Structure 1
Amino acid sequence: MQKRTTDGSPATREEPPIASGTVSHDDPNTARPRSGLGLLARRIHFLAGFAVAPFLAVMCLTGLANAFTPQIVDTVHQQELFVDTDTGAPRPVSDQVAAALAAHPEGTVKAVIPPPDEDRTTRVVMSMPGLPDVDEFADEDLTVYVNPNTNRVQGELITVKDRPPAQAWLRHSHGNLHLGPPGRLYSEFATTWLPVIVACGLALWVAQRRSDGTSGLFTRSRRSSSTYARLRGLHGSLGLLLSLGIVALAVTGFSQSNYVGDRVDQLLESVGSSEPQLEAEKVPLSPGEEQIGVDRVVETAEAEGMRGELTITAPAEPGAVWEVAETATGWPIRKDSIAVDPHTGQVIERVTFDDYPFLAKLNVLGVQAHDGTLFGIVNQVVVSLLALGTLVLIALAYRMWWNRRPRHALWPPTPAPVWRSLSKAQLLTVVIACAILAWAMPVLGVTLIGFVVLDTVINTVKRRRTRT
């Protein structure tokens, strides 16, 4: 006879805890994949996910802040970025540059960025004695912000590639935790393993559907299911929903990473898909011939139809050309650049976004989508939802892991080793795939070797303890 509660409703049977040192693999709520590859996917998903999750959580939190960089920077540096008065007509750009040089005569002008909007200041980027050039990601300059209507210097900031301090801080928090080049390993560790973890998770989801005989896209757990089964169903459904976006975020971040970024550059170069660059050489200087000023360069760029934010790079030496590039982010993409003759003001070379190879275009679009700048606020919301969803997935995964711990055990069990369950063909396929991934993603390769060595040592110690 079925037991009932005091109100007459059927009593829910409490599932007894797992005995110490054992894992119930026969329970349908904890069904295991039967194939060797399925078991391998389960072990990789668990062990790699367990190790990567803390780093991934940090990336999600810093990525949330980084996605809203434009709003944060405008708020923090409002005094420098926005004009304090918009009365009067804009002054010549050369006068604004002169005002910046008057404030810092020891500096050398590297670039000038006229305001893309009427309420913005002009940015004059200057190299200064004493500012370090650590590497291509951390060379510092002094940027002077000039009101284009009054020529008044509104402020100055130490910038990294024209990124003001707030933007540089957010970028370094997400990319290297302010630890410099060694810190970039943490983000590369998380992003390179993420697609592998997602792929193994999808394999487990397919195996679970076959085991349960379900036909729906998302798994629905019965009310009588165990807590673990309900958590697994929620984790699997949410993971399936977010999988494409999560992998897209990871892949679009590859080109901005260290070792994988080098591999991406090598791949693009090998197939002739590198981002085209201006290659204009120095122009011979005739006796008595003077060089044009920045005002003439601005006129030339506008006549060429260049719009939005323009970064004007000054000649580094006599005879070198002026370069003008469209550097605004967002859709539609504007990435044209021109080289201007320093004596005649004529355009001697032009590269447009249409000249970019297909893969180079995809790379530009991917980087902007990753940073949340491609489609404005919509892009920022999507990136934020993916980051928050990933944090929920991590929390569910750790909750599942903790829920499965045996009675009187301090830690839950890990999936059993599966290498011996693979056929020779499967093992060879796995080894080849790992070798390819290790070449393409060196950080993944090194940590994979570390995982295998550590896993082997731990299981060897366990077997010896069992024998004794």
Structure 2
Amino acid sequence: HGPGHQPADPVPAPTADIGLDRAVAAARAAGVDSASIAVTLPAEGSGYVVKETDKQFPVELDQVALDPVDGTVLDRLAFAEYPLLAKLTRIGIDAHTGVFLGLFNQLALAALALALILMIVWGYRMWWLRRPRRPVGRGAWRKLPVTLLLPLAATAAVLGRFVPLLGVSLLVLLAAEVVLALVNRRARTR
């Protein structure tokens, strides 16, 4: 090989790994005992992460991080240690998406949606039956006092800024009102 040849760098010895089965067994021994779990395999400089994923009744969403060499618990995050608002947020999200308590939660959400639809339809029906027979004349808003009109306009502008779909709807209605007023004015002058 000649005099200038350097010896090759030694090949690093493969690191020991407990494997997936032993990692799950170590996590179960550490208290992650749900039937539904997720395991994140170790990456460079990290260990196994085993966490419970059963959201049907999410009061035990514990997780542990395990050393991939010997299976010791490096870190533990227990649902019981969450602050109260974090627990309520987790349960609220699961209830809102329909996974909390399974079929019962989904039926309750379907009943709520149906009740809202029926209330909207019945509300329009009640208005239609009791609607004013004599329409309010155009420009009736001009009769409002300025002390009431300016705060209403400012509130509409702020709402339109922070809720853009509402703002666009208000602008479309205002534009339609202006066009109708111009059409009526031209029709009266003829």
* TM-score class, shorter: 0.7 to 0.9
Q: Alpha carbons of 1:387 and 1:301: their partners in 2 closer, same or farther (altered >3 Å)?
A: same
1:310 aligns with 2:42: no
Which amino acid counterpart does residue 363 of structure 1 have in structure 2? T
Among the aligned pairs, what percent are the same residue? 33
The letter for the 2-side match of 1:455 is L
1:455 to 151, 168, 173: 173
Aligned to 1:356: 82
- Partners of 1:319 and 1:342 within 8 A in 2: no
SS in 1 for 2:125: helix
Structure 1 residues 332 and 447: CA distance shift in structure 2, 3 A = closer
Are 2:54 and 1:336 aligned?
Answer: no
Contact 2:59-2:80 within 8 A present in 1 as well: no
- Match of 2:116, as an amino acid? T
* TM-score (normalizing by structure 2): 0.72
More divergent stretch after superposition (451-460 vs 391-400): 391-400
What SS does structure 1 have at the residue aligned with 2:74? strand
Separation of aligned partners in 2, 1:465 and 1:374: 56
Whether 1:427 aligns to 2:145 is no
User: Relative contact order: is structure 1 or structure 2 higher (C-alpha 8 Å, sep ≥ 6)?
Assistant: 1
Match of 1:367, SS state, is: helix
CA deviations 1:149-187 (Å, max 9, x no partner) are xxxxxxxxxxxxxxxxxxxxxxxxxxxxxxxxxxxxxxx
How many Å separate the matches in 2 of 1:362 and 1:404? Answer: 43
Kindly indicate whether the alpha-carbon contact (under 8 Å) linking 2:39 and 2:50 is maintained by their aligned counterparts in 1: yes
Residue matched to 1:446:
164
- Aligned partner of 1:7 in structure 2 is none
| Displacement after TM superposition at 1:381 (Å) | 2.8
* 1:293 shift after superposition: 0.4
After TM superposition, give the deviation of residue 434 of structure 1 in Å: 1.7
Instruction: Give me the TM-score of the superposition, normalised by structure 1.
Output: 0.32
Determine the C-alpha separation between the residues in 2 that align with 1:334 and 1:377.
20
What corresponds to 2:185 in structure 1?
Answer: 467
Instruction: Read off the aligned partner of 2:41 and give its amino acid letter.
Output: A
Q: Does 1:393 align with 2:111?
A: no
Match of 1:448, SS state, is helix
Aligned to 1:382: 108
Distance 1:465 1:425, change over 3 A: closer
Q: 1:15-55 CA deviation, whole Å, 9 max, x = no partner?
A: xxxxxxxxxxxxxxxxxxxxxxxxxxxxxxxxxxxxxxxxx
Matches within 5 A, 1:266-281: none
> Please, which runs of 5 or more residues in structure 1 have no aligned partner?
1-285, 408-412, 439-444
Instruction: Flag the 1:374–1:419 CA change in 2: closer, same or farther, 3 A.
Output: farther
The verdict on how the C-alpha distance between 1:425 and 1:461 changes in structure 2, with shifts beyond 3 A counting, is closer
Cα 1:424/1:399, change in 2 over 3 Å: closer
Compare CA radii of gyration and give the structure with the larger one: 2
Partner SS for 1:311: strand
Q: RMSD of aligned C-alpha atoms?
A: 3.3
CA contact (8 A) 2:67 2:74 kept: yes
The 1:368–1:332 alpha-carbon spacing in structure 2 relative to 1, beyond 3 Å, is closer
8 Å Cα contact 2:157-2:167 kept in structure 1:
no
Give the alignment of 1:66-465 within 5 angstroms: 287-308=13-34, 309-315=36-42, 317-331=43-57, 333-400=59-126, 403=129, 421=144, 423=148, 426-427=151-152, 430-431=155-156, 434=159, 438=162, 445-465=163-183
User: Deviations 1:331-360 (Å, cap 9, x if unpaired)?
Assistant: 351211111111121111111223434433
Contiguous gaps of at least 5 residues in structure 2: 1-11
Give the aligned length: 170
**CA 1:431–1:450: 2 relative to 1, 3 Å:** closer
Distance 1:338 1:419, change over 3 A: farther
Q: 1:394 to 1:450 in 2, by over 3 A?
A: same
Deviations 1:179-199 (A, max 9, x none): xxxxxxxxxxxxxxxxxxxxx
- Counterpart of 1:313, as a letter, is T
Inter-partner Cα distance in structure 2 for 1:415 and 1:306:
69
Note closer, same or farther for the CA distance 1:429–1:446 as it changes in structure 2 (3 Å cut). closer
Range 331-340 or range 414-423, more displaced: 414-423
